[in-house]
Every structure is written in C-alpha cells, then in structure tokens.
Amino acid sequence: MDPGKKEGPGEAAFDLILAKIKTVSNVFLIVLLIGLTLLLGATIAMRFFLGQPIAWANAISRYAYIYIVLIGSAVSYMLSGHATIESFYNFASPRSKKVFDFAHYLIVMGLSVILTVKGAKYAMSMWGVHSPVLPFFSIGIVYLSVPLCFLIIFLFMLRNILGLLGLYQKK
C-alpha cells in the first residue's frame, strides 16, 4: 500500500458511503438521546407534580434504548472503540497480526451476514405485531435495529478486509 498511490473511484465512493453512514448514525443517536432525556424528564415531572406519569414513556424509552445500544455499538466498531484483548496480539509478528486480523474480520462478517438476514426476516415477521401501549407502533420497527446494526458492521468489516488484502488503500 503505497502512500503515493491514488485511490480508485470505487474506493473513494465506498469511503464516502461509510462516512455518510457514520454521520447519519451519529445524528440518529443524538436525536434519540435528546428525545429520551426529554421524554423521561417530562415523565418524572408529571409523576412528581400530577401523580400520573406518561403511560407510553416506558415503552418508547425501552425501544429507543435498544436502538441506542445497537447502532451505538456499530458506530463504536467503526471507530475501533470496542473492547480488545491485546496481550498476544502485541507480541505477534506482523504476519501473524495479519492472520489474526483476517480471521477476526471473516468471523465478524459471517456473524454479521447471519444476523442481518435472520434479523430482517424476523423484523418482517413481527411487522404486524403492535405494542399493547402503542397500538399504532409496529414491533417490527424495534426488531429492525438488529439487521441495521449488523449491516453497518458488515460494511465496515468489508472495508477492512479489502484493505488487509491490499485490494483497498487504507487511509
């Protein structure tokens, strides 16, 4: 991977797509966190002052939290913020590190494919089920968080594995 090598048009486009996904995910997480804070604050205030909390706040906060955790973990994976055990990795040779990275990427990509496909099927099957507290809200929307999270992780792992194989220039 020569630093003077120009990126191909596909490489730049893929990086742009990943950057947009990361930006959209971050904005989505910020909106969810602000909304969750306001909703729970209003519920606490109503419980304190009126003795009656917002009935649907618990369900919405639970669903928002699921999205925050899953999409947040995908963003964390993109930023290499996930927990790692580096004891053996730091002592390994550069060639061994490539083998470890390759195995890691393949395992995570395989798991991501399985969870994206199975998660999408499950979300579609749950689309007709509605929350008891929110009859207009499909539970399938909540289950959609799993395939979204793992699709993001898969795309990022694809970027990494192509870079590792020398088919893609890492920045």
Residue 100 lies in a domain: yes
Residue 21 lies in a domain: yes
- Which sign does the torsion angle of CA 129, 135, 136, 139 carry? negative
The CA distances from residue 117 to 19, 21, 32, 141, in Å, are: 23, 19, 25, 15
pTM here?
Answer: 0.84
Mean pLDDT score, 118-145: 93
Looking at residue 34, what is its pLDDT?
A: 97
Tell me the percentage of the chain whose pLDDT exceeds 70: 91
Residue 171 lies in a domain: no
The predicted-structure confidence for 6-47, as pLDDT tens digits, reads as follows 555 567 788 899 999 999 999 999 999 999 999 999 999 999
Looking at residue 15, what is its pLDDT?
A: 87
Residue 147 lies in a domain: yes
Residue 125 lies in a domain: yes
Residue 95 lies in a domain: yes
Residue 3 lies in a domain: no
Mean pLDDT score, 120-125: 96
Residue 117 has pLDDT above 90, yes or no: yes
Work out how many domains the chain is built from and give that number: 1
The CA distances from residue 139 to 5, 20, 72, 130, 133, in Å, are: 48, 27, 20, 5, 11
Residue 4 has pLDDT above 60, yes or no: no
Mean pLDDT score, 79-93: 80
Q: Mean pLDDT over all residues of the chain?
A: 88
By residue range, what is the domain housing residue 140?
9-164
Residue 107 lies in a domain: yes
